[in-house]
A and B are shown apart, each in its own frame.
Chain A
Amino acid sequence: MAANPLRVALFVALVPAAFLLPGSSPPRLPGDHSGYAPEQPIHFSHRLHAGELSIDCRYCHFGAWESRHAGIPPASVCMNCHASVSAGFDAQMAERAAAVAESRDPRRVVSPEIAKLYAALGLDETLTQQSAPTPIPWVRVHDLPDFTWFDHRVHVARAIACETCHGPVQSMERIRQVSSLSMGWCVDCHRASAAEPGGNSAQHVSTDCSACHF
């Protein structure tokens, strides 16, 4: 059976053409969620915290050093600062200026986003307990399949920077998945590291299936 040139041409032309349809994203494999940046229950800005304020990643994601999960910080970690910082600098200054102008004591300004944090903890604006706390349902961005086992602490122990996989988080207003987190993407790095000279056996970079799948 000889190939039908028309059929071949159609196939070759139409598949890429499908990606150019209005609204479709660049071609990628099923399961590749790079670019995923869902709306979060609280508009938390990594750009502000990790970028502008240069807070170390591990201040909030302390799990990455001790556990396989980096973890989302408990709300009480937020309160370490936000018990006193209740609004942005500009809003605070504006209130202070207004207070001077109206010759009164400045009132406590609470930004709408930080008010959500207080609400989750069941606190009102003056930080008195009003209701039972309800945990914050953050939308998961980096989500590996259940049959894949990933261990943050091993990668952190090998001094792999967070940005290697998570991208320029310090410039993201809303957190976004940068890497594909596909198996090929993992294995590329594992292969490259395994080929590095001078790796000792305790830090052997495995490309065995059971390094991640069991």
Chain B
Amino acid sequence: METHDDNLLLPFEDTTSSRRSFLRTVGFGIASAAMAGCSRGPVRYVVPSLAPSPEILPGRAYWIATTCGACSAGCGVLAKCRDGRPIKLEGNRAHPASLGGLCAVGQASVLSLYDSMRLDGARRGGASASFEDCDRELTRIFAELERSGGRVRLLTGSVHSPSTRAAIARFVARFADGRHVSYDPLPASATLTAYELLFGRRLLPSPQFERARTILAFDADFLGTWISPVEFGAAYTRGRELAPGAKFRHIQLESRLSLTGSRADERVLLAPWETAPALAGLCAELERLAGLPSRLAQLGATPRSERIAALAHEVWASRGASLVLCGIDELESQLLCAYANELLGNHGATLDLARPSQRRLGDERALGELAAELDAGSVDALVIAGVNPAYDLGGRLALARAKHVIVASEALDETAVAAGWVCPAPHALEAWDDGEPREGLFVLTQPTVPALRSTRSLRASLARWSGDARSDRDLVRAHWRSEIFPRSGESDFDLFFERALQAGFVELEPRARRSLAFRPDALAQLAPRAQSPAPGALALVLYAKVGLLDGRHAHNPWLQELSDPVTKIAWDNYACLAPTTAATLGIGEGDVVRVHTEQGAIELPAHLQSGQHEGVVAVALGYGRVGTGRFARVGPHWLDAQPTVASDGVVGVHAGPLVVWGSAGRSFAGAPARLDRLARNVSLACTQDYHSLELPAALASHGHEVRDAVRSTSHAEHAADPHAVARSKHPVADQDLWPDDHRGERRWGMTIDLARCTGCSACVIACQAENNVPVVGKDEVLRHREMSWIRIDRYYQGEGEELRTLHQPMLCQHCAHAPCESVCPVLATVHSAEGLNQQIYNRCVGTRYCSNTCPYKVRRFNWFDYPHEDALANQALNPDVTVRSRGVMEKCSFCVQRIQEAKARASVEGRALADGDVQLACQQSCPANAIVFGDLENPSSRVSASASDPRAYTLLEELNVQPSIRYLAHVHSGRSTKKESGHGG
């Protein structure tokens, strides 16, 4: 009788009737009726505003031109706002420096606006206080110091805002012993000093990458972290395109594999102690080529002398159209670098001295003097704004010795926590500001949202303490009216300011200055010597990492979870060692090592990094920030969840205390270090091998063991047979499950130019911001459950100096004959009439068959309902994209919400959709314009033109899944390598 109990939904197959089955049948009927009768969910309200705003219409996006405040580069952005708040930042195409690109850090800065741990209101002695009380007290203190001639110091980062600089100058001038000291957490002070010594003016020349044909970069990570990566990346890519054939050469001379080095045509491994001698050797060879007597009196032996001589010849051949760059902030190297450029005639050609960059203005000597004054306890008042010296400088400044410490910071950081007064600073998206990132280029920042917190800018604070109660907007406007507007030659200030505000910037002729004459006297004293560390010791290199930079964005979970473009590790810093060095020392991946230097010791896991100098251990800065403890519970909360932070409660380890302080400033590279292996091992969340396209050897059929997913060729090979690189090495499968007759009127497609892609990962964060991709935490990343819709696969060829790296953005390929579609049992993934591979969340039941069958491994499964508990952080969600719930599959949708928006706009305007109407988030953000999107069925579209490039190939063509994405093979001008590429490493 009881044997058919499980046939609830199949009552007709029951042979007998029982009391129980009768009740069940009746119950089912009543339950369905009841469900139908009162299925209304909880009542929801719709609350309109009281008065309509001309701009804000619920559901409609509007754009505000402003300036990114995430670093000092000053890239132009258009903030996409909905319902009165910004939800996404996009690059401003019209901006003369950034040209529409925006880096990962800039993309992520919209999330920092909604950081619930930002400061709200002033603080006095560690407790909340009102701005009024603080102002009253501080005004009195400063008035007293003005009378008594007390020592007042203002410590900031590089301030290129003209109005803030004017306010600082006015403030400092009040005091008999007042001084403004600035430093950069990642300094370029030696470059400024070098130009001061050689040209008589402290300046940072603006490199013009698009005019360069040969670039020699000594440890300058200009595509990743150095000064202004978006601008440089865009110009570099353009330069590469403009150079005919193999004429563009980029040689990176570095000790560790940087993002920029990974893009170089050739790499030369130079230890930090070899850089200055190598530059001296280069200069000496250039002098010889120029037929000049040597100005370098004491020349030691040149390391890698043959290679350096060859490079000198190469760069001499393109003199006037070359660049020698040095990212090591050390005076000797910078003097030699400037001299090399002078010998090559690059000043005025590829290095603009008339419009110097103002993104690095810090002076390390002044910082050293301030440190001494603080040590002596002779500073009466210290105002700190925009920097976090207690963290950046590893506790080197005796801040507690200053009588009064006033801090203007966004969060209660390492510096603010010990300060007497904290006057919190606003986020760039809620503030008025201006800037002059390079001379003559004036940018404006305007609020995109009413202030979310009670804050005040440094400019307004300084004015207030001097009795000027004007608002920030008035201060900026007043400065523009008196200083900038008269230079424009226009007649109506209001119109001038409105227009500048609308564009986000205004470009004026830089102030005329006397021309700079080269004064080589400073070169005579140089004595570069290769000082290799003692045997058995390694040289420590501290570097900035893409995303985290100097650690100022360590509170941003998007950037923490962004895997490093080179190492592919997220949520940690680590000691990078060359594999051979690690083998010698008996250190394996993840083994915790203690790095000893004279400055101290830190303990962190080791990472084996190909392409690194054998004598170097490299550690990223920017980790171990106080306050990153908030990420302990960032991921899903479940039984087996592990915290994202280490045992000390923060993310990563602070390497700042190992920075060496010398008389000329801080030194980040070259300190001798010893390594001890500890008996612990830490798992590093390295995403590189998670979604490998490689086949397990046992499953591969003959000839398919190696898949040429990423293709690269040399200029010579490409010139000989342009089509060779795109030809598939494997026979294309001819069987097909799908008919070939389902072509629609449109087929959305994309091309990704691997020759342009620098791997900078801006697209990854842009996609995360656009598509509400959740953060999952380190533990989940270790379980291969990171959610990014677009990832950047990194491929290595070769080893050591010969290592060639390729970056390949990988996202759903929107296959015409998609394997995922044929396995879905509930039709949750189906093809659209426009060639999109659609993923329908409300239909998905989470079988994950599609993910198993996807050859590109781009599908992501929601193992959990990822936490969305922070109501403020939820303001950054894109209201046009569903927040996916537990148990559904997701993947790149080709930003279908943007396609629909563009179609809706075209429909309202009564026109057909035009090529270029749809810009995907990844495409928009790309500084290098590597991504083109459009209709492949339209022969005149940009994407069709790009797809017909002889370099275009589809990934894993042999599977015959007919992807909608074409990759354009990378073409380098290095020596050709015949080795096959491998995915791992």
Residues of A within 8 A of B (CB): 1-4, 6-8, 10-11, 14-15, 17-19, 21, 23-25, 27-33, 36, 38, 63, 65-69, 71-77, 120-121, 133, 135-140, 143, 145-149, 151, 153-154, 157-158, 200-204, 206-211, 213-214
Do B36 and A30 touch across chains, with their CB atoms under 8 A apart?
yes
Most interface-central of B45, B834, B897 (chain A CB within 10 A):
B45
Do A4 and B33 touch across chains, with their CB atoms under 8 A apart?
no
Residues of A within 8 A of B44 (CB): 139-140, 143
B26 contacts chain A at the CB level, 8 A cutoff: yes
Residues of B within 8 A of A213 (CB): 838, 840-842, 882
List which B28-62 residues lie within 8 A (CB) of chain A: 28-30, 32-37, 39-40, 43-52, 57-60
B492 contacts chain A at the CB level, 8 A cutoff: no
Shortest CB distance A187–B (Å): 13
Given contacts A11-B29, A67-B57, A214-B900, contact A138 B48 (CB under 8 A): yes
Shortest CB distance B749–A (Å): 16
Provide a sorted-by-A list of 7 A–B residue pairs whose CB atoms are within 8 angstroms. Answer: A3-B12, A18-B32, A27-B36, A135-B47, A138-B46, A158-B907, A213-B882
Residue-wise interface mask of B (1-42) relative to A, using a CB-CB cutoff of 8 A (1 in contact, 0 not): 000000000011111110001100110111011111101100
Q: How far is the CA of A89 from the CA of B931 in the complex (A)?
A: 64
Residues of A within 8 A of B881 (CB): 214
Do B59 and A68 touch across chains, with their CB atoms under 8 A apart?
yes
B880 contacts chain A at the CB level, 8 A cutoff: yes
For B904, give its contact among A73, A137, A147, A151 (CB under 8 Å): A151
Residues of A within 8 A of B37 (CB): 23-25
Main secondary structure of the interface of B (DSSP, over half): loop
Q: How far is the CA of A63 from the CA of B57 in the complex (A)?
A: 7
Shortest CB distance A98–B (Å): 34
Given contacts A30-B35, A151-B904, A214-B897, contact A202 B46 (CB under 8 A): no
Residues of B within 8 A of A77 (CB): 52
Given contacts A143-B44, A208-B834, contact A2 B15 (CB under 8 A): yes
Residues of A within 8 A of B906 (CB): 202
Given contacts A63-B57, A75-B50, A211-B900, contact A202 B29 (CB under 8 A): no
Residues of A within 8 A of B724 (CB): none
B910 contacts chain A at the CB level, 8 A cutoff: yes
Residues of A within 8 A of B900 (CB): 149, 151, 210-211, 214
Do B58 and A21 touch across chains, with their CB atoms under 8 A apart?
no
Q: How far is the CA of A151 from the CA of B908 in the complex (A)?
A: 11
Do B45 and A137 touch across chains, with their CB atoms under 8 A apart?
yes
Which 8 interchain pairs have the tightest Cβ spacing?
A18-B33, A69-B59, A208-B832, A67-B60, A15-B29, A67-B59, A76-B51, A72-B48
Q: How far is the CA of A69 from the CA of B48 in the complex (A)?
A: 12
Do B893 and A214 touch across chains, with their CB atoms under 8 A apart?
yes
B830 contacts chain A at the CB level, 8 A cutoff: yes
Query: Across the two chains, which residue of chain A brings its CB closest to B21?
Result: A7
Shortest CB distance B856–A (Å): 19
For B57, give its contact among A3, A23, A71, A151 (CB under 8 Å): A71
Given contacts A3-B12, A202-B912, contact A19 B50 (CB under 8 A): no
B452 contacts chain A at the CB level, 8 A cutoff: no
Given contacts A33-B40, A208-B838, A214-B893, contact A140 B46 (CB under 8 A): yes
Q: How far is the CA of A74 from the CA of B36 in the complex (A)?
A: 35
Residues of B within 8 A of A206 (CB): 832-833
Q: How far is the CA of A120 from the CA of B830 in the complex (A)?
A: 49
Given contacts A10-B26, A31-B39, contact A15 B897 (CB under 8 A): no
Q: How far is the CA of A19 from the CA of B37 in the complex (A)?
A: 9
Q: How far is the CA of A43 from the CA of B98 in the complex (A)?
A: 54
Q: How far is the CA of A2 from the CA of B354 in the complex (A)?
A: 94
Query: Across the two chains, which residue of chain B brings its CB closest to A158?
Result: B907
Residues of B within 8 A of A31 (CB): 39
B911 contacts chain A at the CB level, 8 A cutoff: yes
Q: How far is the CA of A66 from the CA of B43 in the complex (A)?
A: 27
Q: How far is the CA of A167 from the CA of B832 in the complex (A)?
A: 31
Query: Across the two chains, which residue of chain A brings its CB closest to B832?
Result: A208
Residues of A within 8 A of B883 (CB): 146
Given contacts A1-B14, A147-B882, contact A138 B840 (CB under 8 A): no
Residues of B within 8 A of A121 (CB): 50
Given contacts A31-B39, A71-B57, contact A7 B908 (CB under 8 A): no
Do A153 and B36 touch across chains, with their CB atoms under 8 A apart?
no
The number of residue pairs between A and B whose CB atoms lie closer than 8 Å in the complex comes to: 201
Q: How far is the CA of A206 from the CA of B903 in the complex (A)?
A: 11
B640 contacts chain A at the CB level, 8 A cutoff: no
Residue-wise interface mask of B (909-923) relative to A, using a CB-CB cutoff of 8 A (1 in contact, 0 not): 011110000000000
Query: Across the two chains, which residue of chain A brings its CB closest to B884?
Result: A147
For B17, give its contact among A7, A147, A157 (CB under 8 Å): A7
Shortest CB distance A195–B (Å): 14
Residues of A within 8 A of B911 (CB): 202
Shortest CB distance B866–A (Å): 16
Query: Across the two chains, which residue of chain A brings its CB closest to B894?
Result: A210
Shortest CB distance B348–A (Å): 51
Do B33 and A7 touch across chains, with their CB atoms under 8 A apart?
no
Most interface-central of A1, A31, A138 (chain B CB within 10 A):
A1
For A71, give its contact among B17, B28, B48, B746 (CB under 8 Å): B48
Shortest CB distance B634–A (Å): 24
Q: How far is the CA of A15 from the CA of B449 in the complex (A)?
A: 55
Do A200 and B912 touch across chains, with their CB atoms under 8 A apart?
yes
Given contacts A74-B48, A157-B910, A214-B897, contact A15 B58 (CB under 8 A): no
Q: How far is the CA of A21 from the CA of B52 in the complex (A)?
A: 48
Given contacts A138-B45, A158-B907, contact A15 B32 (CB under 8 A): yes
Given contacts A24-B37, A72-B46, A209-B840, contact A1 B912 (CB under 8 A): no
Q: How far is the CA of A15 from the CA of B29 in the complex (A)?
A: 4
Most interface-central of B21, B28, B51 (chain A CB within 10 A):
B51
B850 contacts chain A at the CB level, 8 A cutoff: no
Query: Across the two chains, which residue of chain B brings its CB closest to A204?
Result: B745
Do A38 and B25 touch across chains, with their CB atoms under 8 A apart?
no
Q: How far is the CA of A140 from the CA of B44 in the complex (A)?
A: 6
Do A18 and B29 touch across chains, with their CB atoms under 8 A apart?
yes
Q: How far is the CA of A31 from the CA of B838 in the complex (A)?
A: 24
B664 contacts chain A at the CB level, 8 A cutoff: no
Do B908 and A11 touch across chains, with their CB atoms under 8 A apart?
no
Query: Across the two chains, which residue of chain B brings its CB closest to A17?
Result: B29
Shortest CB distance B59–A (Å): 4
Residues of A within 8 A of B33 (CB): 15, 18-19, 21, 24, 27
Shortest CB distance A66–B (Å): 6
Shortest CB distance B19–A (Å): 12
B548 contacts chain A at the CB level, 8 A cutoff: no
For B48, give its contact among A4, A136, A203, A204 (CB under 8 Å): A136
Do B908 and A154 touch across chains, with their CB atoms under 8 A apart?
yes
Residues of B within 8 A of A135 (CB): 47-50
Do A7 and B912 touch across chains, with their CB atoms under 8 A apart?
no
Q: A68-B59, A154-B904, A214-B896 are in contact. List 15 more A-B contacts (CB 8 A).
A: A3-B12, A11-B12, A18-B29, A18-B34, A33-B40, A66-B57, A66-B908, A136-B48, A147-B841, A147-B882, A201-B745, A202-B903, A202-B911, A209-B830, A210-B840
B971 contacts chain A at the CB level, 8 A cutoff: no
Residues of B within 8 A of A137 (CB): 45-47
Residues of B within 8 A of A153 (CB): 904, 907-908
Query: Across the two chains, which residue of chain A brings its CB closest to B905?
Result: A153
For A138, give its contact among B14, B47, B904 (CB under 8 Å): B47
Shortest CB distance A164–B (Å): 17
Q: How far is the CA of A131 from the CA of B57 in the complex (A)?
A: 26
Residue-wise interface mask of B (833-858) relative to A, using a CB-CB cutoff of 8 A (1 in contact, 0 not): 11010101111000000000000000
Shortest CB distance B672–A (Å): 56
Residues of B within 8 A of A71 (CB): 48, 57-59
Do A14 and B26 touch across chains, with their CB atoms under 8 A apart?
yes
Residues of B within 8 A of A145 (CB): 842
Do B47 and A136 touch across chains, with their CB atoms under 8 A apart?
yes
Do A10 and B25 touch across chains, with their CB atoms under 8 A apart?
yes
Residues of B within 8 A of A120 (CB): 50
Q: How far is the CA of A11 from the CA of B840 in the complex (A)?
A: 34
